[in-house]
Structure 1
């Protein structure tokens, strides 16, 4: 056994120690659920008859308590390109289950909103909290006691975390995540940026912009940039919750179908009546959570996971914080550049070696915990192999390539794109914030400039179009935290701020909201906590105050005299205007914890 990198070992040890009490309580819970919880043999005859009434040819198998029944929780809808392929999955999975003497039932469906559709719209204020609705719906789906295993069908931004958080409360069940893959590549990424910035400058109209966007998002599958959805898939691989190599195989291909078949077969082998019991709550442990953070850093993944990983961890009784991200970032090298952090998309990343290469390199550098349980029998080493179909159409796995197929996308650990993972914790008199330095040119890592303060991203757009931001400026957008308005992404601001940067101005964004998994080249200090609502210091800022955002110094500070700063009152929250159903989420807003704890009200309310 090789030695684990000292910093990864240190962070893992402190997460274990910090979580000792809460993790024990969680493991006690899932053991109790296995031994005394509701399951098929304990259901009354009437309960059981209801449970298999519509199951046709599978009724006899469902009456046999020695056969596994897999509950499918699906996020299918045909508005999300990534989730449209799931339409036929349950039918296929039933056939795959019968091949090994098992059964499949759709336990339930969960909502799956598209951040791409709601980006910059009022519905985006429901986006983060949709994660809670998904977790609750997953819990309802699995509550019937009909299942010995689970298969979770979901990919996109809040859907995978929500499914996983809900399923972790049934952590005694053998569970696998089943992806459907990315859409084929559309137009080049440089062209996307060029057209969006031309539109932001008013040089082209909406028809030209829509033509470009339709050529970009053009088919079934996930969007091809490395945003939150595809970071989810990376994370499921590194945590060992996929069949190895399942993340980035395109939909509608024979390989994709065989990976789904393998997932169903594998769940049937992991149940508690067999000799290879692998419950979800044991796969998701302190070491796999640390591995997820390492994968995030090594690939330059979405900043949204600085919320999602703490929330997933809490659902399993594990406590992580932004110091853990920061300390790991100092030693985990950036070995992948995928758009928007580089010119190529996830399909090109996959063909260059993809997750198998990344995991192989991280293992070779002792940056991943090896002694973890995974869906695959061989542990994390199995994820350093890539799936292929042999000449007979059989699914097999080949070792990762020794060298990447494209060195503009992947580098070895020995010669990384950057020696660190590019995710920094900033602290100061404004609070604590995260900063994705891997996406930003180092010459912009320190920005000191006057601020212009807004409480609505639409007002930023108006100021930009009026030329009021043509200067060195730190744009402050506050009252965007989870308690204020649900913490919508502010990705709509990216083109305008990019134009200002290209004009030669020193420009940055400071916000208590989220930016996006598509955070680009403009410096952003985001998830600032405490948020403005409730007294966060960002509420004290006034137009013209000088703020310093510095990666090198790890600081986010208002350069205002201490006496004046202490005496300055907080701004008042703008009025809330109901509509688009946002008013229904008031209870979640009121009880949401800080971003660093995952911003998930239902976990906080449960004392987790």
Structure 2
């Protein structure tokens, strides 16, 4: 085992010893009180199966048949989640065929950052994760279930489902993906048209045509953003069936894997001999495995918050220093857009998850002494699912890459590190995704150009005011201020400046997401400007230095001068009213900082004693 990864794992275990013990005590008590419908009164139980068919009613009365909860994020508007429309019927039938029962326990909201990008609804995006977690808990709260199937793919949805599932950590839980859409126009061409539109070289009709050819059917977007990072991380943590993350929707193999996931969860319940709840799968080693896979593939920076919150839900405390050290320990093995020109389907063709598992295991970069929904260890995940004469089987995956421009080896990686840097200095702490940068490191010292709102940048760009070396500061975008929206719409104009030969970078207490690309971006700055961070004192023309080699994020202004300055007062009221945002004022006020997961769900005091 890689010594640095082992060291990070051990320190996570040690710092979390008390909180993890409290969590395990909690889920053990919940197990002892089950099977849950057995403690319900007759009236409670009658309500719980009133709408079932006679056979399911009989099975649920007997207390010997498993009842599996289905929690889904289905809606028609998200291409990734549209396939879930048919899943409940498929899952119920598959569960019934093995003598158990499945009930649709509840739906969770699912919003799309791709739709809300640059619009008021985006201010709700990050907070929707906690709403999803709470909605999951509501769905599971009826004391009717012996296991659960979680249907979700995109940005905040999978982390929310994970957090909610871990609050019911005594239940065996399997995550059920739906797969990516087939490849559309090349990502490089899509990026070219976006940048041309930002420069005024093409019109809206040409832009819309390019976007429509990229996002063109049911399934997950094919670039390697947060959605596909979710799927990869969840599989590496052992919560998917092997090789199921990136099988296209509407295919016979996809349907076979969906049915197999339903059957698998019934094998893990406390009614049999192979009880394996999600709270025993998601331990420190599984979490570290997820971090390793994320960083080895240049995955979404959103997980520097999401995985912190997920770990906390399982009783663990992880920090950005853990991310940074693991990034230094693992090589970059994939080039998937925005870290390259290929998409997720190309990754699958090059060797996909089976080969990624093999490389990471052979390189001593994954803990193999872990639990999964398929049993102990990760060797099964080096196999690929196939249909042979209509039967679902797993066969050994490839031993080498079919396209070394997309999926490399540990021996010959694209970069020696995982492409995530943690920056610290008087401006606070931030993360930067370096895997997609043109150069290995970012070193820039330039005057600040300060904006209080992402939309202000458009006017400055169009006026030519940004045609210079500069560090663009976009502040008052943090969790407590306005809910921390993604600022991905800033990428095209900043990319234009970069292509003109200017040295540019972005510093913000907002997010840039898994779509972060070639523009150096120090994001998630904490403490955020709204909470007293030094960002609130930055003025136009101040020199700012970013250096990923030294880890510096510095405002180069005399200490006495900074002491004399008054912090800028945020003018953010227009971000807090309308599009439902006023209803989230209470949640915004309780969100922790970015490094603590930007989360509203956990109290500061740990439960030391659980009966």
TM-score, normalisation: structure 1: 0.98
* Higher mean displacement: 438-447 or 568-577: 438-447
1:89 matches 2:65: no
Aligned with 1:398: secondary structure? strand
Q: Shift of residue 33 of structure 1?
A: 0.7
Instruction: Give the one of 541, 547, 550 matched to 1:550.
Output: 547
- Mapped to 2, the partners of 1:146 and 1:88 lie a distance apart of 23
The offset of 1:568, in angstroms, is 2.3
Aligned to 1:54, the other structure's residue is in SS state coil
Describe how 1:115-130 pairs up with structure 2 within 5 A: 115-130=113-128
Partner Cα separation in structure 1 for residue 35 and residue 58 of structure 2: 21
Q: For structure 1, which segment, 575-584 or 35-44, has the greater mean C-alpha deviation from structure 2 after superposition?
A: 35-44
What SS is found at the alignment partner of 1:330? helix
What is the match of residue 561 of structure 2? 564
Q: 1 CA distance for matches of 2:240 and 2:165? A: 15
Distance 2:276 2:563 in 1: 54
Give the corresponding residue for 1:441.
Answer: 438
Could you say which residue in structure 1 is the equivalent of 2:320?
A: 322
Q: CA 1:389 to 1:38, structure 2 compared with 1: closer, same or farther past 3 Å?
A: closer
Query: For 2:250 and 2:146, how far apart are their aligned partners in 1?
Result: 29
Segments of structure 2 that go 5 or more residues without pairing to the other structure are: none
Give the Cα separation in 2 of the matches to 1:31 and 1:485. 38
Contact 1:593/1:604 (8 A) holds in 2: no
**Number of the residue aligned with 1:353:** 351
- Is the CA contact (8 Å cut-off) linking 1:97 and 1:104 kept in structure 2? yes
Instruction: Name the CA shift for 1:498/1:245 in 2 (closer, same or farther; >3 Å).
Output: same
Question: In the alignment, which residue of structure 1 is the partner of 2:582?
Answer: 583
**Where does residue 483 of structure 1 map in the other structure?**
480
Asked if the contact 1:490–1:514 (Cα under 8 Å) also holds between the matched residues in 2, the reply is yes
**Is 1:458 the counterpart of 2:458 in the alignment?**
no
Alignment of 1:157-176 (within 5 A): 157-176=155-174
CA contact (8 A) 1:588 1:602 kept: no
After the TM superposition, which residues 379-398 of structure 1 pair with which residues of structure 2 at under 5 Å, given as runs? 379-390=377-388, 392-398=389-395
2:43 corresponds to which of 18, 32, 46: 46
Partner Cα distance (1:11, 1:359) in 2: 20
- Match for residue 308 of structure 1 among 289, 294, 306: 306
Q: Secondary structure of the equivalent of 1:588?
A: helix
Give the distance between the partners of 1:326 and 1:605, measured in 2 at CA.
Answer: 24
Post-superposition offset of 1:604: 3.8
CA separation in 2, counterparts of 1:37 and 1:323?
39
Aligned residues: CA RMSD:
1.1
For residue 220 of structure 1, the aligned residue among 179, 197, 218 is 218
Matched residues in 1 for 2:20 and 2:80: separation?
34
Q: Secondary structure at the match of 2:421?
A: strand
The CA distance in 1 between the partners of 2:62 and 2:493, in whole Å, is: 62
> Where has structure 1 moved over 4 Å in runs of 4 or more?
605-608
Residue matched to 1:183 = 181
Q: How does 1:501-512 map to 2 (within 5 A)?
A: 501-512=498-509
> How many pairs are equivalent?
604
TM-score (normalizing by structure 2): 0.98
Quick check: 1:444–1:523 contact (8 Å CA) kept in 2? Answer: no
User: Aligned to 1:522, which of 519, 535, 545?
Assistant: 519
Contact residue 174 and residue 278 of structure 1 kept, 8 A:
yes
Q: Would the aligned equivalents of 2:480 and 2:589 in 1 still touch at CA under 8 Å?
A: yes
Deviation at 1:261, TM superposition (A): 1.1
Distance in 1 of aligned mates of 2:242 and 2:417 = 26
- Which of these residues, 209, 221, 224, is aligned with residue 207 of structure 2? 209
Unaligned runs of 5+ in 1: none
Q: Partner of 1:132 in structure 2?
A: 130
Q: Secondary structure at the match of 2:189?
A: helix
SS at match of 1:533: helix
CA distance in 2, matches of 1:443, 1:143: 48
